[in-house]
Amino acid sequence: MVFPRHVIQQIEQNFKIALAEISRIKPALDFLVITGDAVNTGLADVEKYCKHLKYLDMQVYSIPSSHDLALGPLPDGNIVLNEDGSFWESNIGSIRNVFTCKGIKFIFFEPFRKINEKKGINVFDADTAAWLAGELAKTKSGQPLIIGYHIPILPRQGTYIGWDKAEKFLSLLKKYNVLACICGHRHRNDEDIIDRIKQIQTGPLAGFQWTGLAPHYMFPVRAGYRIFQIHGGRLHSFYKEINVKNQVTLEKINNIHTLGPRPQVRPVILSSGAVLQVKTYSEDNEITQVEYSLDNKKWVRLEAKNSFLWTEWEEHIPYHRFHDKFNIITIRAITGDGIKVYDSVPVYVCKENLSMRTQSGPEMVFELITQPAEHVHNKCKTNSFPWVVIPN
């Protein structure tokens, strides 16, 4: 769709904030990659996009997808899709990027093809397959790879949606040391394993603002960007919410990704104990302590595991500590100067069964409220989304 002016201004402001934050941490970064939908109506927006990027003194790779290549608006307010990337290459750069950084080989591309003026799909056609196979064949034996594209591959009932001939693409990758595939498009912060290959989805800088609605009603992801770091042969990442100096995210429970930052959440269904994987970030301070609670009274400390630009923490909750049926796991991170930040994820508990795998529940929104005023209580009661009050 073609966005109203006030929506464009909000998205542009998000972009400026993100670029300012990235500039502050730039010495720790090697390059920036934007996995599609950097602009909305093609060439008309490209000049403005380039103007913003020129203030960021670092290498930027932009993969064009459906919105980037659009030809302009239709009378109904939608955009006209396009698959010809020639003007993108003339103004931005190659639509296929292959390079090596610190021993890691990166391959960024986008096989988008339009079905009609309003609809498109990723197609792993013969030309794309031949090009990718050729690039992979040049890879040194055992060299780690990271593949980037815009539209994720989504498993559905024994097949895949979002891509045509996804099986051929995944089969080709299996022969190589692929650390992860990274993508966007779906407005989710998510991580899954598809045919034994990790795929990481990242939410947009437009956040929920592009809808013009409150985050509890549609695409509730918070605006931000993802930072990647490779350590010990493994890929680690953290989704940094813009304009937030101190952040904590309960990212995984028994390796099931909980989405987030809130209110977007994927609840977890437990039939055994829970291993919590938490990530914290502080721009001006240090997170010195992270705790969890099931009742907001007794708090148990987590153990710090890895320290990057963010810090990763872990702890195990024995099955017997959970209440029957429904629980809220609340995470509290405390900075060196005493600032407390929270995250919270609902979990459902069924009969203990050590042989049964933890299951993911349906996506939903779940609001965490600290120090609520009376009008906040009343507002919550009039809405259908779940919420919990956490005393400070």
User: Domains in the chain, ordered, with CATH?
Assistant: 5-241 (3.60.21.10), 246-390 (2.60.40.650)
List strand residue ranges (DSSP E) for 242-339, in order: 246-253, 256-257, 264-265, 268-270, 274-282, 287-293, 300-301, 303-307, 311-317, 325-335
Q: What is the mean pLDDT of residues 42-65?
A: 85
Does residue 273 register a pLDDT over 70? yes
- Please give the pLDDT value at position 216: 78
Q: Output the pLDDT for position 385.
A: 44
The pLDDT-based confidence of 369 (bands split at 50, 70, 90) is low
Give yes or no for a contact between 281 and 309, defined as CB atoms under 8 angstroms apart.
Answer: yes
* Residue 388 pLDDT grade (very low, low, confident, very high; cuts 50, 70, 90): very low
Smallest CA-to-CA distance from 68 within 13, 129, 110, 124 is with: 110
**Confidence class for position 383, pLDDT limits 50, 70, 90:** very low
Cβ neighbours, 10 Å, residue 321: 13
Show the DSSP H helices in the chain as ranges.
5-24, 43-53, 86-91, 126-137, 166-173, 374-381
How do residues 121-164 score in pLDDT, each as one tens digit?
889 999 999 999 999 999 999 999 999 999 999 988 888 988 99
Q: Residue 389's pLDDT is what?
A: 46
Strands 163-164 and 120-123: parallel
Counting residues of the chain whose pLDDT is more than 70, the rounded percentage is: 93
Cβ–Cβ contacts within 10 Å for residue 175, how many?
Answer: 11
pLDDT of residue 259: 95
Residue 377 reports pLDDT greater than 50 = no
Q: Name the burial class of residue 351, with classes exposed (0-12), middle (13-18) and buried (19+) by CB atoms within 10 angstroms of its CB.
A: exposed
Task: Give the strand pairing for 178-183 and 145-148.
Answer: parallel
Q: What is the mean pLDDT of the chain?
A: 88
Q: Is 0.85 surpassed by the pTM of this model?
A: yes
**Would you tell me how many other CB atoms lie within 10 Å of the CB of residue 162?**
17
Residues 6+ apart with CB under 8 A from 192: 198, 199, 257
- Whether 248 has a pLDDT exceeding 90, the answer reads yes
357 pLDDT higher than 80: no
pLDDT value at 381 more than 70: no
What integer pLDDT is reported at residue 214 of this predicted model? Answer: 81
Among 20-29, 47-56, 96-105, 321-330, the least confident range: 47-56
- State residue 379's pLDDT score: 47
Residue range 242-263: mean pLDDT, rounded = 95
The residue count for the chain: 392
- Confidence grade of residue 368 (pLDDT, cut at 50, 70, 90): low
pLDDT of residue 376: 46
